[in-house]
Structures are given as structure tokens and as C-alpha cells.
Structure 1
Amino acid sequence: MSRFIFSLIILVFLAVILEIYSFQAFKTISKNKLIRFGFLAASILVYINFFITVLSYDRKNGQTPQFQMSMGLVLTFLIPKLLILIILFGEDIYRFTVKLISSISNSETQTIPGRRKFISQIALGIAAIPFVSFIYGIIQGKYNYKVLKYQLTFDDLPEAFDGYTITQISDIHSGSFTNKEKIQYGVDLINEQKSDLMLFTGDIVNNTADEMDDWIDVFSKLEAKEGKYSILGNHDYGDYMDWKNPEDKIKNFEKIKGIHKKIGFELLLNESRYLEKNGQKVALIGVENWGKGFNKAGDIKKASLNVNKEDFKILMSHDPSHWEVMIKKDDFNYHLTLSGHTHGLQMGIEIPGFFRFSPSQFVYKQWAGLYQEFGRYINVNRGFGYHAFPGRVGIWPEITVIELKKA
């Protein structure tokens, strides 16, 4: 509790500093009190809403959409003001430097130069970019589904699977959803790909099985010609809830596993299946969650017990750190690994073929998209849903379609 209170004190202190500098920027460019105090009043309302939500927050209920929205609004207001602070603080350094030089070179008392209007205009103009982006991300960006298609070529792919297509989705996080029409649009877009196989790589809920109750009818419509398989993610174990007793957590976990069957997916729990086509086969392996710093229920050895080393192998593992730490160098040769988990932090900049950035890359070496090392591939899906922050800014929800080709 003391750590929580300390964090709130730090947040309040930071907010005060940011508001002082932001108010100075507005004051410099406009004498209109409605503009100067209007934005300040909006910020105060956002802070009040956030603190009321946080102080009344009960971990037994998990992250509700209301909690996520209050967090999203705070970030929407704080991050642009952080840019204002950086720019105006830089100007303050310049102003005080001019004052210091003048004082040294001239015995007369020198006043500190006034804040320059064009600097405040630049600061507000730059801050407007993330502000508008965050508003868009919360309203529409989280539904801006993108279909990303890859063609991967392998020497040892069985000929019968040449041209075989896989649709990967990940990180549904149904407990965050609020708009059924938009989610239905995303599901329809998945079905439009008409892939041979559909694979879901974990995190069907945020915390509890009942989060999926209103969405089973939507996701049960997902279709694939030759089957649908799934695995668990870190959120599916209920580890982020304060449970009344261990039995409730166990019951919830069993219900979450049952959800997969209700929507037509076969859940792989450290086990494998063979996909057969014209007398040839490919091994599909699904591990439970294994994450660096997270639940390590995944057991790759157990999951691969019935698989031969020479088989062509597709591995589903929720957390890409599993691939980095254990899979990519494994002599058993897992040809293609499909992961999710990172969401690309739901914030970043991606200009295909030129530039990619997200704070997620400071935590995960493989944070979004397709990677290849040692002749093996991993695709880190950016996720279908959203969590914590109720939107997406620059890192859009993803539907991956992979076509396998024989070299």
C-alpha cells in the first residue's frame, strides 16, 4: 500500500509540473481566458476521474473498461504535455544562460528574457500530434484491423503443403471490448482470408472466464477449412486477480479452457497434432505460456514428445521471449513459431520498409512482425484486441496470413 501511495504522490507532482508548463504555453500564445483555463479545467476533470477510479478500484474485478478508459485519458493528456515540458524547459535553460552571461559581462542587473511566443507555438503544435493520435486511437484505432500477409519458403516443407495458408490471431482480451459491431467486423475480416488453418496464440480474456460470455456467439463464427487450434496466454491463468480462495482460481481456469471448445478451437496444452494432406504431414505443437518473467507452464519437451526431429514443425508459443531464450537455437528445429503477447505496446510508429519504433522493443527483441534467425522464423502478432490502454496508436490490431511454400 505504501508503494501505491508513493506512486500516486509522484504522479501528482509530475502532473503539477506538466500543468504549470502547459499553462505557460497557452498563456504565451493567447490572452483568451477561455482557452487558457478551459484546457486546464479539462485536465483537472481527467485527473479527478482517474484518482476516483484508482482509489475505488478492486483487484477482484480485474481491469474493467472503465479503469482502462480513465488510464487512457490520463495518458492522452500527460504525454503531449511531457513534450511541452521538454521544449519549454529547454527554452528556460537558454533564458537563464542568457541571464547568466549578461550578469557576468555587465555589472547592471539584467532581467530574465521573456518566454518567446513562437517557442510556445512550436511546443503546442508538436504536442497536438500525440494528443490527436491518442484520441483517434481510443475512438477508432483499436478497430483499425490490418491483414498482414507473408510467404515463407522452406526446403523441407512437404510438397502437399505447398501453398498451404495459415491465419494467425492473438490476444483477443475480450474483457476490454465494448463495441460488438466493430468486433464482428474484425471477425468477418478474418473469415474473408479463407485460410486452410486458423491458429490462436493466447490471451482470450484479461482475467476471468465470464468476460467472454457476450462474445462467444461472435467468435464461434470463425472459420477455417482444415481446423482451428489454440493455446493459452499469460492472462488466461488468472494470475492478475485477487481471488477469495485457490478453488475459485482453479474453477475459473477450467472455464477459460472450456471457452476454446465453445468457439470451435482445439486447445493444445503442451501437446501436438499432425496435420495431414495427401499422405504427408506437418507437426503442430502448442505449449502453455512460457515467458521471461511470467508464468512458465510451457514445457516444450513434453509438447514435442510425439514429434520426430525430421518433421516439419509449426510451434505456437504465446510469449516471444520463449523463442529467444529456448527455441531458436534448439537442435530439434522448430521451423515456424507463432507468438503474440507484446501488442507492440499498442503505441508506436511503423512506416513499412523504412522505420519502426515502439517502447516495446526495449523489453522484447522480437516485438512485432516477422523475424528470422538460424533459418527459423517467428511471427509476433500485434494482437486482435487491446489491454490496459483502451486504444491503439500507430500499432494496429493484426490478422496475420502466412502462406507456406516449397523451395
Structure 2
Amino acid sequence: MMRWIIFIAFVLFIDFYAFQSVKTVTKNKIGYVIYWLFSIAVFGNVIYQLTTFNNSKGMPQSVMFAFGLLILSMVPKVIALIIMFGEDIFRILKGGFNYFIGSKSTTFLVDRREFVSKVALGLAAIPFASVLYGMARGKYNYQVIKHTLFFDDLPKKFENFKITHISDIHCGSFDDAEKISAGIDLINEQASDVILFTGDLVNNTADEMVPWIPLFKSLKAPLGKFSVLGNHDYGEYVRWKTPEEKEQNFQAIKELHPQIGFNLLLNDSVYIEKENEKIALVGVENWGTRFKKAGDLNLASSKISKEDFKILLSHDPSHWETEVKNHANNYQLTLSGHTHGMQFGIEIPGFKWSPVQYIYKQWAGIYNEIGRTINVNRGFGFLAFPGRVGIWPEITVITLKKK
């Protein structure tokens, strides 16, 4: 009960300052009514969805939509809060007691208040429009990001070997078959030698993937499609009736991979061969500092040698930071996902930022340390917030070259 009281108080506090911005700039009562109706509608929908959500099948699309509306409503209001609250502090410091009894300073402060309110509303409009675009279009704004990576010990026959790396499909969030089909076509257009998927096929349950099997089965790669599991593939975020039900779902999720043509590597490895030369693909189950630790790197590598050129598939990049990059077995290239780039941030040439970087040291793109390389894919799908703002869904294409 206390968490709901705190949540309601927080929302009302932010709404008060956002409303003050509107009220200072306009005297139009219709505008007031629209503002409050929108706020009440969003808040009411969020409360309804969250209080009726029992997590029996994971987070449904209705809850994600409600969460999206909350973000859409609250982000611009927080901007207004920061600016208006700061202005109130200034008014108290500048006007002091005279502000409350009415002096010449009052006129100055009221004029300043109107100016600051206009600034607050103008700045708040930017994130509002961005979040709205992210929910409407951004979540399917697929980007093909290409990298060329050089390695001293790459076998000669694998010069220009081409990899398409995808991650975090989260098919339980999909709501537009036409957009997903376009994304699948874009993957196939890359004409890569292999397609490597680094986990989180579903949000929670195996049945989420059933409608999408024909589409993902149509992915093509002449030398194979390989995959590993992510933290969401274990059914950890659902209240199952029995342990047996959870295990049945887990088995069904593993069986989905061959149904869509992927070779699922469960702490295992395979070789890809070209004209009597080979590279090793190593796949571990999920291993994360904050999530399930089912991955066993030593077991996964037990069939290969230290001298092999190795590509490791590991869902969570914290695995690379914690164990992989310093491992004696020398995993030249690691592919991960998991972070989604938080589905929110700024990426422009020369600058990249997202709040998730304060949690994960490697969170999007290529990182090199001590002669080891990792690519963190920003994810094909989305989860919780039904959109993407600034951090778009990604299809990575990596070309290997000999240094």
C-alpha cells in the first residue's frame, strides 16, 4: 500500500509543476481541462493495468502500452519540474519575504516566471515528441550497423568472412507483422555466411514465438544459423503454478530454436570449416553479474583447443567484462546483447550516451581490450517500454579480415 501512496504523491508533485507551466503561459480554461483529462486518463490506465497485472504469463502488451503512456506523460513533466522548481528556489532567494507581500520585485519575478514557463514548455515538447515517435515508429526503425574487424590469427580461408549478429528478439512484444517481415528481409539482404543470435528469443513463454515461426524460419545463411539463450528464455519472470510447468516452458523454448532453423549451443561448441581450415563457435548459456548464471565457459570450450580462432556467443556483456576477456583460452571475438542500449539515449557521430552505461561498461557497439573484442548488439526487439528513442533496433554485420 505504501508504494502506491509514494507513487501517487510523486505523480501529483510532478503534475503540479507541469500544470504551473501551462497555467502561467495561458489563461485558456479549455487547455486546463485537456491537460488534466490527459493526465488523469494516463494515470488511471497505468494504475488499472498495474493493479490487475498478476504476472501469470509475464508482462502483456497492455501493460507495456500503459508503461509507454506513463513515460510519454512523465518525461516532459520532469523537464518542467526541474526548470520550474529551480525557478521557485530562485524566487524565494531573490524576492524573499517581499515576494509574498507584494513589492516592486514581484513584477520582475512574475515576468521572469512567464519566460521560464515558456522555456520549460518548449524544452518539454522535445522529449514528448521523441517518446511519441519512439512508440509509433522508433521500435521498428531497424539499422544495419557494419564493422570490419582485423585479427592476426584469423585463418586465411576466413578472410572476408561475414557474420550477421542479432540479439534480443523478444517476440512477445511484437505488434506489427509487416514491420517484422521487413526486418527479416533486411537481415537476409546482408547475405552473410552465418547468422548468430545471442539470446532472449521470447519475453517469458514459448507460445509467444508460435505466430512468428514461419518468418524467422525464412532467415538464410549458407554456413548455418547458431544461437544461445538469454535471461528471459528461462521463464524466471513468471509466477508458475508448479516447477514442472516452468520446466516444460523452458524445454519448449529450447525446441523453438531448431524449429526456426537455429543450432542452439548450450554450453557447447561447433566448428565452421572452409577448405580444410576452421574457426570455432562457442555458445554459453546465460551468465550475468545481475542475472542467471547458467553459463559454463570451460564446459562450452571443452571440445576445442586454445589455438583455435574462437567466436563466443554470450548473452550478457558483463560476462565478457568479468570472466571472458581475461580468460587464458583467448576468445578473440565475443558477441553479446542484453542491454538494448536501454532503448533510450543519444547516438550521433562522435558521441554516444545512454543511462545504461552507468550499469554496463560495454553496452552498445564494439569494444577492444587487451587484444580481445566484443560487440554488444542493441537488440532486434523491445521490452517493457514499447518503443525506442535514439537507440534504434540493430542488425550488426561483421566482416572478418586478417591483419
TM bucket, shorter chain? over 0.9
What pairs with 1:241-252 in structure 2 (closer than 5 Å)?
Answer: 241-252=238-249
Inter-partner Cα distance in structure 2 for 1:194 and 1:309: 30
d(CA) in 2 for partners of 1:365 and 1:348? Answer: 15
Q: 1:322 aligns with which of 319, 324, 331?
A: 319
* Alpha-carbon distance in 2 for matches of 1:110, 1:88: 18
For the residues of structure 1 that align with 2:2 and 2:328, how far apart are their CA atoms? 48
Task: Find the aligned partners of 2:186 and 2:366 in 1 and give their Cα distance.
Answer: 21
Hey, what's the Cα distance between the residues in 2 that align with 1:8 and 1:351?
A: 39
Amino acid at match of 1:330: H
Equivalent residue for 1:209, pick from 203, 206, 210: 206
Moved more, 273-282 or 94-103: 94-103
Deviation at 1:7, TM superposition (A): 2.5
What TM-score results when the alignment is normalised by the length of structure 1?
A: 0.96
**Corresponding position: 1:162 with 2:174:** no
Q: Name the residue aligned to 1:386.
A: 382
TM-score by length of structure 2 reads 0.97
The aligned residue for residue 2 of structure 2 is 6
Alpha-carbon displacement from aligned partner over 1:23-67 (angstroms, at most 9, x marks no partner): 111111111111122122101100000101111101112111111
Of 262, 267, 284, which residue of structure 1 is paired with 2:264? 267
Q: Does 1:34 align with 2:22?
A: no
Displacement of 1:101: 8.0
1:70 aligns with 2:62: no
> Aligned with 1:305: secondary structure?
coil
Q: Equivalent of 1:306, from 291, 300, 303?
A: 303
Asked if 1:288 corresponds to 2:271, the answer is no
Q: 1:25 aligns with which of 8, 21, 26?
A: 21
How many residues in Structure 1 have an aligned counterpart in Structure 2? 400
Deviation of the 1:110 alpha carbon: 7.4
Could you tell which deviates more after superposition, 23-32 or 239-248? Answer: 23-32
Q: Deviations over 1:235-258 (max 9, x none)?
A: 000000000000000000000001
Q: Which of the residues 319, 324, 329 maps onto 1:332?
A: 329
Distance 2:121 2:44 in 1: 24
What is the identity, as a one-letter code, of the residue corresponding to 1:261?
P
| Matched residue SS, 2:211 | coil
The aligned runs of 1:91-240 (5 Å cut-off) are 91-100=87-96, 113-114=109-110, 116-240=113-237
SS at match of 1:116: helix
Q: Equivalent residues in 2 for 1:348-387 (5 A)?
A: 348-352=345-349, 354-387=350-383
The CA deviation string for residues 180-229 of structure 1, in whole angstroms up to 9 with x for no partner, is 00000000000000000100000000000000111111111111111000
Residues 319-362 of structure 1 deviation map (CA, whole Å, 9 limit, x = unaligned): 0000000001111100000000000000000112x211101001
Paired-residue identity, %: 55
List runs of 5+ in structure 2 lacking aligned partners. none
Q: Is the partner of 2:144 in helix, strand or coil?
A: strand
User: Which sits farther off after the overlay, 110-119 or 195-204?
Assistant: 110-119
SS across alignment from 1:214: helix
CA distance in 2, matches of 1:361, 1:178: 29
Letter in 2 for 1:124: L
Q: Structure 2 counterpart of 1:156, which letter?
A: D
How far apart, CA to CA, are the structure 2 residues paired with 1:34 and 1:174? 42
> What CA RMSD, in Å, does the superposition of the two structures yield over aligned residues?
1.6
Cα-to-partner distance string for 1:79-100 (whole Å, 9 max, x where unaligned): 1100100001111111111122
Q: Which amino acid aligns with 1:93?
A: I
For structure 1, which runs of at least 5 residues remain unmatched after alignment? none
SS at match of 1:60: coil
User: Structure 1 residue 81 and structure 2 residue 74: aligned?
Assistant: no
Deviation by residue 1:109-150 (Cα, 9 ceiling, x = unmatched): 976933621111100111111100000000100000000000
SS in 2 for 1:118: helix
